[in-house]
Amino acid sequence: MSSTANKESTGTSSLSSKPSGKSSACCTCSSPLLSSSIGRKWIVAITGILLILFVSGHLLGNLTIYPGPNWINAYAEHLQSLGPFLWVIRLVLLAIVGLHITCTIQLWMENRAATPQKYAVTNTLQTTIYARSMRLTGLVVIAFIIFHLAQFTWQGFNPVTRTWIDAQGRHDVYRMVIAGFSNPFVSAFYLLAVGLLAMHLSHGISSLFQTLGLTTAKLRPLFERAGRIIALVIFLGYASIPLSVLLGILRYPHVSLCPFVH
């Protein structure tokens, strides 16, 4: 009788010690992207792609300054005509940037905690200067974005630019940009920031292919070369505007260098 009781009690305890499938399923379903390092790497890669697309599109919009005031002022007016939708786009971009930064910092902290100190020198030697400076370049670029928004979007440094209107009654963005980049210190900071952005992109573009599982030993050098080329094109495009202002190629009042563009 006592042996039967012991068996029943053993069977009962073994059953109670088994985890229920329901609770186990609940644990595995909680934010797999954010709770795993692989998920965070995918978030960094996807948000990185979206930010590269934005940087490229923003550059195309900025380059409308070269045909003259009518082009860039019309482009700026079109953006403002989006109304509340423009703020939705800005908030989405802010969320993308926030996710990119948060997951990048978390991955860096995990890697630092997992890597023994004695291998720190070896790991540093095996990586490029672009990879080692990713966090620094990212922070400087963020500081530049805030400054850039304060200067050209919020117009906080020179409020008088808000009153500048062109002949068609639009905000004279062309004149505002020329005035802003006529300051050599502003142009120097801009050039430094877009240079660091190019460094960030150079490594980031090649890394995202690896994260998405699209790279191989043969394709890796190709993706690295593509990353450097794309980063260089973006740098030259952005850097050309302040340099053109400082060299007098872009000036106010506008002087057309092409007889077919006014």
pLDDT, position 208: 82
| CB-count exposure of residue 30 (10 Å: 0-12, 13-18, 19+) | exposed
Is 121 inside any structural domain?
A: yes
User: Quick one: 184 exposed, middle or buried, by C-beta within 10 A (0-12, 13-18, 19+)?
Assistant: exposed
Domain assignment present for 80: yes
Other CB atoms within 10 A of residue 208 CB = 22
pLDDT band at 135 (very low <50, low <70, confident <90, very high): low
- Look at residue 67 in the predicted model and tell me its pLDDT: 93
Residue 17 lies in a domain: no
Identify whether 37 is part of a domain.
yes
Q: How far apart (Å, rounded) are the C-alpha atoms in residues 12 and 113?
A: 42
Q: Is residue 68 part of a domain?
A: yes
Higher local confidence (pLDDT), 119 or 147? 147
pLDDT > 70? residue 28? no
Percent of the chain with pLDDT over 90: 35
- The first and second tokens of residue 219, run together, are 């394709």
Picking from 12-26, 35-49, 86-100, 169-183, which range would have the lowest pLDDT averaged per residue?
Answer: 12-26
- Reported as a single tens digit per residue, the pLDDT across 58-108 is 999 999 999 999 999 999 999 989 989 988 998 998 899 889 888 888 887
Q: Is 258 within a domain?
A: no
Residue 6 in any domain: the answer is: no
Q: Are residues 164 and 172 in contact, defined by beta-carbon separation less than 8 angstroms? A: yes
The pTM of this model reads: 0.75
Q: What pLDDT, on a 0 to 100 scale, did the predictor assign at position 259? A: 43
CATH number at residue 199: 1.20.1300.10
| Domain, as residue range, for 87 | 33-246
* Dihedral angle computed from the Cα positions of residues 34, 37, 43 and 45, in that order, rounded to the nearest 10 degrees: 180
Give me the number of domains the chain comprises: 1
Averaged pLDDT, 167-180:
93
pLDDT score for 26: 43
Asked whether residue 103 is assigned to any structural domain, the reply reads yes
